[in-house]
Amino acid sequence: MRAWERGAAMRNTTLACGTGACVVLVAAVLEGYTERVCLTLSSLC
């Protein structure tokens, strides 16, 4: 995924795009590339 953020030069892309990361995750689940697994904060401790 490539993301162009406001304030960055037109030739430069950024990998730091939270909204884009969420979109990629949803698309991956919808297209069957990954499973939908929900984690809670308490399950990580």
Q: Is residue 45 part of a domain?
A: no
Residue with tokens 């939908």: 36
Q: Is residue 42 part of a domain?
A: no
**Residue 38 Cα distances to 9, 13, 45, angstroms:** 37, 30, 15
Q: Return the biggest CA–CA distance within the chain.
A: 42
Q: Which residue range is the domain that position 23 belongs to?
A: 1-32
Put simply, whether the predicted model's pTM sits higher than 0.75 gets the answer no
Q: Into how many domains does the chain fold?
A: 1
Evaluate if residue 11 carries a pLDDT over 90. Answer: no
Q: Is residue 38 part of a domain?
A: no
What is residue 43's predicted lDDT score, i.e. its pLDDT?
58
What is residue 8's predicted lDDT score, i.e. its pLDDT?
63
Q: Is residue 12 part of a domain?
A: yes
